[in-house]
Amino acid sequence: MDGTDRGTWVLVDGENIDATLGNSILGRRPQPDERPRWDRVLSFIADRWNQSARGLFFLNASTTLPMTFVQALLALGYEPVPLSGPADAKVVDIAIQRTLRALRDRGDDVLLVSHDGDFVDDLRALADGSRRLGVLAFAEFRNAGFSTIGGVESFDLEYDAKAFEAPLPRIRVIPIDEFDPLQFLH
């Protein structure tokens, strides 16, 4: 985005999504075919908000840089942001917080892909009514603080963005208007 047209910045906290998927949903390290299809995330929000979307994928590269994954991200239209720092520094969180702060002076919309409550205050500072804001995550693990920010749209990584090839083993709270008993009568 060159500043002349409004677009959406998609900020991906990949290690947060991967940890939630592995630890809380699958109970093990995800296999490559069980990970999100990140191109679907960009397509989802571009279609949903009817404008261009540009992805920044934040990676902790303090010990290693996964070049195969970086190349895949580039091919999918993301800009990898490899970071390093001391072992006790949450380099991905720090970089996303700084990016959210830098976006205060821009008119672009923002989609945060994370469950992490460390970003609530910085996202709240962007909620001035002049831009669209969203959080994309697994709904049941999203930090409750995001729901206290007026104007932030919440999206589910699996159900809304359809970022997975196969259904995940999740228990979903079903809005009564969407309940279909045939899903359970097999």
Over residues 70-101, the pLDDT tens digits come to: 999 999 999 999 999 999 999 999 999 999 99
Query: Each residue of 44-69: pLDDT tens digit?
Result: 999 999 999 999 999 999 999 989 99
| Token couple for 96 | 């996303």
Whether 116 has a pLDDT exceeding 90, the answer reads: yes
Give the residue, 147 or 174, on which the prediction is more confident. Answer: 147
Binned at pLDDT 50, 70 and 90, residue 3 comes out as: very low
Cα 154 from Cα 146, distance rounded (Å) = 8
Whether 181 has a pLDDT exceeding 80, the answer reads: yes
Binned at pLDDT 50, 70 and 90, residue 4 comes out as: low
Whether 174 has a pLDDT exceeding 90, the answer reads: no
**What contacts 181, CB < 8 A, 6 or more positions away?**
none
Residue 113 pairs in a beta bridge with 12, 136
Cα 145 from Cα 65, distance rounded (Å) = 32
Whether 2 has a pLDDT exceeding 70, the answer reads: no
Dihedral class, residue 128 (left if φ above 0, else alpha if ψ from -120 to 50, else beta)? alpha
Whether 108 has a pLDDT exceeding 90, the answer reads: yes
Share of the chain above pLDDT 90, in %: 85
pLDDT in the model for residue 171: 81
Q: What is the CATH number of domain 8-183?
A: 3.40.50.1010
**What contacts 76, CB < 8 A, 6 or more positions away?**
38, 39, 42, 55
Binned at pLDDT 50, 70 and 90, residue 1 comes out as: low
Binned at pLDDT 50, 70 and 90, residue 186 comes out as: confident
Give the distance between the most distant pair of CA atoms in the chain.
53
Average of per-residue pLDDT values in the chain: 93
